[in-house]
Structure 1
Amino acid sequence: QMQNLTEFVTDKGGGILFVAGESFNPLAYRGTPLELLLPIELADARNPTAVGNAINSYRPELTVEGRASPIFRFGESEAASALIWQGLPDLFWYFEAPRKKPAALVLAEHPTATGSEGKLALDLYQFAGAGKAMFHAFDDTWRWRFRAGDRYFGRFWVQAIRFLARSKLVGQRQAEIQTDRRRYERGQPIRLRVRFPNPGLAPAVGSATVQIERNGLGPRKVTLNQVPGTRNVFEGALPQAPEGDYDVRLLPPPILDGPIPTATFRVEAPASEFERVQMNEPELIRVAAATGGKFYTPLTADTLLQDLPKPSKVPLDTDPPIPLWNTWPVLGLFLTLITLEWVLRKRKQMV
């Protein structure tokens, strides 16, 4: 039966999904035909709870590919799906597989646990012949039904099954071109991948060639090398490319029937705040001097208190106020004005 499943995937373009659990997990498939389909390496994989390791609650982190994958599309847009994903209940178990196979693509990973290749992959898949093989390293997605029913739990599994079934539906395609992203920033490498669902159509020379073209630039050829351990998967990278929209197409050999396989991607200018991430020390020194201050780094901050100017003395006690009406000059001025008025009235005979 295992051999039949393997042939169903590799030869007939079917899909297979492995879900690990505490009692039943892929370790039982060591040395069987199904081990070839798994996108993880079983040599150093293990069940953490079986060896007494406690697992804290966690929420898987989606990779760039995972956020763009239809499997994790819970909302109307990628941003809405990300918000829903952050609100799902945490999980409490995972199968530990430190290494993935070279052709595997990771959709979700552990936020903190790491292996020999970085963060532990929790949700990943690979092309296996004409079909796809997916592996989920956790089995408690039922927790997502809390206060939501089947809204997200059911949607997740239905979309995962549709994703795997699509291999069967597109099995008529003779070749597929993929990029690891749809959008890149200037300076980022563009990883290209060509897969032939029917291994018999793959080039016998061990490499495939694609043509990359952008409006305003001449076409550029990139050679993709065969992925070790596969017959029908070829990968390569374009170190960098200017901004713009690009088209990728497969060049012969082989000569295929039907439309030529193509793919598209976009290169954008990086955000300005990331173009220069080093501290601009000369500018900071200039601004500090212009404002009457001084520039310090964490290494020189110990002298800050010593460099502060000595404060000026400010008297705290003041003399009591003197009322204006209690002074002799004011009284004399008042009497002078009254006397002057009386004299003027006397002369004018107004008295």
Structure 2
Amino acid sequence: MNETFDRWIYWFFAGDAAEQADGLQSSLQWIAPWAPWGTIAILIGGGVLVASIYYRERSTKQAWFKATLAAMRIALVALILFMLYGLSLRPYRTDTPDLVLALDDSQSMSHIDPLSGEEASQIKSRLSAAGYADASRWNQGRTLLLGEDWFDQLQSRYRLKGYYVGDSGRAWSGDIEQWPETLQLAEANRPASRLGDSLTEIFQQQRGRPTAAVVLLTDGITTEGKSLSDAAVVARRRGAPLFVVGLGSRQRQLNASVEDLDVERAAFVGDPLNFKFRFGATGMAGKTAKVTLRKKDDPEILAEKNVTISTDEMTRQMELQFRPTEKGDFTFIIDVEAGDDEVDLSDNQATAQVAVRDDAIKVLLVDSQPRFEYRYLKTLFERQLKPVSASGQPENAFDLTAILQDSDMEYSDQDAVAERVFPASQEELFQFDVIVIGDANPAFLSRSNLELVNKFVVEKGGGVIFVAGDQYLPWLYGGTPLAALFPFQLENAQRPAPPLSSSIPVKLSNLGVTSPPLQVGANTSDTLRRWDSIEQLYWLPEFTSLKSGAQVLATARDRFDPQGDPIPLLMQQFVGGGKVMFLASDDLWRWEHHDPFWMQTVRYLARASVLGGGWGAELAASRNEYERGEPVRLRVRFFDDRKAPTSDQGVTVMIEQAGGRQRRVSLARSSGSRDTFEAAISDLPEGEYRAWIAEPVMSDAPEQAATRFRIEATAGEMARLAADFGELRTAASVAGGTFYTFAEATQLLNDLPEGRQVRIETLSPIPVWNSWKLATLFISLIIGEWLLRKRGGML
């Protein structure tokens, strides 16, 4: 029964008990003398009988008069039946419902948000009036509870329950009179925010007690366990709406980070070093961050870039380029500066070691005729000097040997770099680092010569680049030992049409944009602009069947094969321990950036031969610390890419937790790279870890490649400080409550529901069937009917 009916019952039947109606509830009880259908039958039958009697009554009275008399007679019958049921009133003494006050005491509540404008003035004035010097979230919550007398206003309506909801649901100590002192001495220092779990614990403690509502004062940050939305579902099932006061600012904590730094670990003086990394920023919308590259212990800025941050949370792949001008082993540092407001600086730097050398590269240049490409390359390799030299005197960057098949016998005697015949032995050929094969006639090369070139690539790990010609290469190389080195099927190669009247525009592939040989500009945009500027390409064959391992670095922009793919200009593939490149046109000699392209290409092909040695491999994690559930990205890079496994799944890393079990993880080859293998692991529990390369075994490496990292159990209370008002609004809505800001919180007291009373004691039943009021009503009905009948002359 509802409260109004309860009060009426007490007023009519309970006499003086009606004065005690506050804090009381009641229920009616009876014992039926017969089945319910008997009562209904008596009422219907009696009503029909009384109505028929008065209908037949011989009287001149109006119908309404007879109807009134009939109704009084039927009421008498009903009253008798009511008394026969022996109704009694069962009263219960009740208590006020519970109201839960929950205050978040996690460490993030101690944060002082940067406030400005009218909001700052209002908050600071209210906190100052409550006796608090700083506008921390914790002090804002205590101001509402203590400074604005919430306890006094609420305890007359509810039985108040106070809890902390940081890492668990904990009741406030002492009675309600002691709560002000308790809260004044308390601090927001809990190391984790388990808001969802804490509220669930409170609901378990409230089991069996009617809870009118839960008032939650928090910043909404949950670092572990259930979310507030999960707890809101439980609140809805319990009929306890959430009235949430959001404390703090939604602005994210300002932070900039750099991770996953990747760069070639070995290079020549003058080579472009592309430092690729992932830049992240939070809470910096509209700001600018400065990213710089420098050497360790050297303040000189080698490269820099300003990043304008457009969103509150941003992640971007970035690249800085630098060309070393001296040899040596260097540690480079990528550093990001976000401003003086940044709190966590631990992730603002990343380092990488690079070995820079200036060894002269031994090049074997082979062609059939002195075509323009041959002449330009021969001149470049003969005259190019090192940027620096150990002796201080000019030194050649390349040690060239040239073979021109159609030359006179005396040519080799007149040219210091010319040789008459191709190297006949493995020892002679293996002394070279790179072989450049132009439009050479395979008829002038014995099968053993061709087999030696194959071994040079597969076994020595040397670099070879083929330059297509209109007579021999690649058209006559099908069925030779060199057929396996080409990145396409020779039988499907189609000779080009006669030279065109307009140049073929060139476009770099996504892989080519980051490939070292193609970096002919000061930066990526300059490199793209220079490749786009080619206007001298009039000759390009078509290759329709590329091998599975072929990688396209550059293509024609407006020429396509029958499958709709752009016709490739520059391709590469890894064969055995070496690299093979194929340049499909010999027209690049016309291009103004011909020389930088060729110098970098030869250095790229020679890196394994000149810089490899016994360097082994390195294993690195993208960061030293991870949150639980975050992917741990591991990368293995072979300094000598000839020692990289041929299988794309050929690297295995062993991960061992401190004091725990070991786990094997397979790494996959990174796209477009021969020497790099990667993997991401997301299901590691918290703890300290050590990882090392289990396969392949690097027997000649100076030490085992290994790394360490740590998985944190929580994200850290101060790692994310932006108040999560979105989550708070959702939780309040799901639980049937309302969300308020600090400024709106005074309205909360008026919006709270009354709640349901708690029955705490059963009182003695009060008989209703023999009440003097019923007897008086019975007598009044009889007398009233007699008087009306007499007045109407019906006696």
TM-score by length of 2: 0.25
Q: Deviations over 1:67-117 (max 9, x none)?
A: 212222222111112222222324111121112222222110121333348
| Distance (Å, rounded) in 2 between the aligned partners of 1:261 and 1:119 | 41
Residue aligning to 1:82: 528
| Distance (Å, rounded) in 2 between the aligned partners of 1:87 and 1:205 | 36
Change (3 A) 1:119 1:211: farther
Q: What pairs up with 1:153-164 in 2 under 5 angstroms?
A: 153-164=594-605
19-28 vs 54-63, which moves further: 54-63
> What is the aligned counterpart of 1:208 among 646, 651, 662?
651
| Uncovered stretches (5+) of structure 1, i.e. residues with no partner | 146-151, 178-189, 213-218, 226-231, 241-248, 263-351
Larger Rg: 2
- Deviation of 1:161 (Å): 1.2
| Distance (Å, rounded) in 2 between the aligned partners of 1:25 and 1:60 | 22
Which SS does the other structure have where 2:567 is aligned? strand
> What is the aligned counterpart of 1:97 among 533, 536, 543?
543
> What is the aligned counterpart of 1:253 among 689, 695, 712?
695
Change (3 A) 1:204 1:122: closer
Residue aligning to 2:518: 72
Alignment check: 8 A CA contact 1:209 1:224 kept: no
| Distance (Å, rounded) in 1 between the aligned partners of 2:617 and 2:500 | 43
- Deviation of 1:56 (Å): 5.4
104-113 vs 130-139, which moves further: 104-113
1:122 counterpart letter in structure 2: L
| Aligned-pair identity (%) | 29
| Distance (Å, rounded) in 1 between the aligned partners of 2:646 and 2:653 | 13
Residue aligning to 2:589: 142
Which SS does the other structure have where 2:546 is aligned? coil
Alignment check: 8 A CA contact 2:499 2:539 kept: no
Alignment check: 8 A CA contact 2:461 2:608 kept: yes
Q: What pairs up with 1:309-348 in 2 under 5 angstroms?
A: none
> What is the aligned counterpart of 1:125 among 556, 567, 572?
572
- Deviation of 1:203 (Å): 8.6
- Deviation of 1:220 (Å): 9.8
- Deviation of 1:259 (Å): 5.7
| Distance (Å, rounded) in 2 between the aligned partners of 1:77 and 1:198 | 29
Alignment check: 8 A CA contact 2:653 2:693 kept: yes
Which SS does the other structure have where 1:79 is aligned? helix
| Distance (Å, rounded) in 1 between the aligned partners of 2:609 and 2:567 | 29
1:4 counterpart letter in structure 2: L
| Distance (Å, rounded) in 1 between the aligned partners of 2:653 and 2:508 | 29
- Deviation of 1:207 (Å): 4.3
Change (3 A) 1:47 1:203: closer
1:208 counterpart letter in structure 2: V
1:43 aligns with 2:43: no
Residue aligning to 1:172: 613
Alignment check: 8 A CA contact 1:203 1:253 kept: no
Alignment check: 8 A CA contact 2:461 2:576 kept: yes
Q: Deviations over 1:124-156 (max 9, x none)?
A: 1112222111100111012214xxxxxx12111
| Distance (Å, rounded) in 1 between the aligned partners of 2:564 and 2:651 | 27
| Uncovered stretches (5+) of structure 2, i.e. residues with no partner | 1-448, 619-632, 656-662, 683-690, 707-795
1:32 aligns with 2:32: no
Alignment check: 8 A CA contact 1:107 1:124 kept: yes
Alignment check: 8 A CA contact 1:45 1:97 kept: yes
| Distance (Å, rounded) in 2 between the aligned partners of 1:141 and 1:39 | 20
| Distance (Å, rounded) in 2 between the aligned partners of 1:118 and 1:10 | 30
| Distance (Å, rounded) in 2 between the aligned partners of 1:143 and 1:22 | 17
- Deviation of 1:222 (Å): 4.4
| Distance (Å, rounded) in 1 between the aligned partners of 2:505 and 2:572 | 19
Change (3 A) 1:203 1:6: closer
Q: Deviations over 1:149-202 (max 9, x none)?
A: xxx12111121111111121243367779xxxxxxxxxxxx9x99888557x84
1:11 counterpart letter in structure 2: E
- Deviation of 1:254 (Å): 2.2
Alignment check: 8 A CA contact 1:98 1:117 kept: no
Residue aligning to 2:129: none
> RMSD value over aligned CA atoms?
4.2
Q: What pairs up with 1:9-28 in 2 under 5 angstroms?
A: 9-28=457-476
Alignment check: 8 A CA contact 1:174 1:198 kept: no
Which SS does the other structure have where 1:110 is aligned? strand
| Distance (Å, rounded) in 2 between the aligned partners of 1:193 and 1:38 | 28
1:35 counterpart letter in structure 2: A
Change (3 A) 1:43 1:120: same
Change (3 A) 1:250 1:153: farther
Which SS does the other structure have where 1:121 is aligned? strand
Which SS does the other structure have where 1:26 is aligned? coil
Alignment check: 8 A CA contact 1:20 1:26 kept: yes
- Deviation of 1:122 (Å): 1.4
TM-score by length of 1: 0.52
| Distance (Å, rounded) in 2 between the aligned partners of 1:58 and 1:205 | 35
| Distance (Å, rounded) in 2 between the aligned partners of 1:223 and 1:202 | 11
Q: What pairs up with 1:219-238 in 2 under 5 angstroms?
A: 221-224=665-668
| Distance (Å, rounded) in 2 between the aligned partners of 1:46 and 1:237 | 40
Which SS does the other structure have where 2:573 is aligned? strand
Which SS does the other structure have where 1:24 is aligned? coil
Change (3 A) 1:169 1:193: same
| Distance (Å, rounded) in 2 between the aligned partners of 1:113 and 1:18 | 22
| Distance (Å, rounded) in 2 between the aligned partners of 1:108 and 1:79 | 16
Tell me the matched-pair count.
Answer: 222
1:108 counterpart letter in structure 2: A
Alignment check: 8 A CA contact 2:501 2:538 kept: yes
Q: Deviations over 1:38-86 (max 9, x none)?
A: 122213111122xx79685312210122121222222211111222222
1-10 vs 253-262, which moves further: 253-262
| Distance (Å, rounded) in 1 between the aligned partners of 2:614 and 2:456 | 17
Change (3 A) 1:166 1:261: farther
